[in-house]
């Protein structure tokens, strides 16, 4: 239960930071922002972990999650999804 709550809170923070740092306006609601942050974390985890499982907070992973979310914003705009 606490893992889900933690994932939602971290998704909100990561998604909000990705929207803040992304150039231009990103029009989406808070639920989409949470989903964006969670998906950005998953994308960054798939790229950086290379099969290993790591727990805890990692600054490099946090930055990679924000960059992953920004990549998803870019891809969504290129596909005219938002």
| Top-confidence residue, 71 or 81 | 71
User: pLDDT class for 82, splitting at 50, 70, 90?
Assistant: low
- List all residues 6 or more positions away from 7 whose beta carbon is below 8 Å from its beta carbon: 38
Q: 13 near 69, Cβ under 8 Å?
A: no
Q: Rounded mean pLDDT of 68-75?
A: 87
**DSSP element (H, E) containing 76:** helix 59-78
pLDDT per position as a tens digit, 1-23: 667 787 788 888 888 998 899 88
Rounded to whole angstroms, the Cα distance separating 77 from 79 reads 5
Q: How far is CA 75 from the centre of its chain?
A: 13
Write down the pLDDT at residue 38: 85
- The ranges assigned to domains in the chain are 2-78
Nearest to 67 by CA among 51, 43, 31: 43
pLDDT per position as a tens digit, 45-70: 777 766 565 666 677 778 888 888 88
Residue 33 pLDDT > 80? yes
């Amino acid at each position: 239960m606490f893992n889900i709550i933690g994932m939602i809170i971290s998704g909100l923070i990561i998604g909000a930071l990705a929207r803040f740092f992304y150039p231009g306006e990103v029009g989406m609601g808070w639920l989409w922002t949470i989903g964006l942050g969670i998906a950005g974390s998953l994308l960054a985890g798939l790229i950086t972990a290379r099969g290993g499982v790591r727990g805890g907070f990692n600054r490099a992973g946090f930055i990679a999650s924000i960059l992953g979310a920004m990549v998803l914003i870019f891809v969504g705009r290129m596909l005219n999804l938002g």
